[in-house]
Amino acid sequence: MPGDSRDLSLWLREVRRQLAISQEDLARHLGVSYATVNRWENGQSKPSKLAKAQLDAFYEKMTDLGKLAHPKSEHR
């Protein structure tokens, strides 16, 4: 997962685009609020260490299931 908020915003949008899910759907998968995902995508805040771990686990799970290809920029 990218560290810079701009890169994180683009990465999250690309992940959601590939999965064809909304911010609300992603929030449900991660166990966070829609507003939290929205703030991450708008660069207003960064995920906590726990949220980063949840994002990484979700990304790996979706990649392993073949539902998600690696976005153009490496996620780590």
The confidence band for 75, taking pLDDT boundaries of 50, 70 and 90, is very low
* For the chain, domain boundaries: 5-64
What's the pTM value of the predicted model, to 2 decimals? 0.82
DSSP assignment of 5-59 equals HHHHHHHHHHHHHHHT--HHHHHHHHTS-HHHHHHHHTTS----HHHHHHHHHHH
* Secondary-structure class of domain 5-64 per CATH: mainly alpha
Query: How do residues 2-56 score in pLDDT, each as one tens digit?
Result: 767 778 999 999 999 999 999 999 999 999 999 999 999 999 999 999 999 999 9
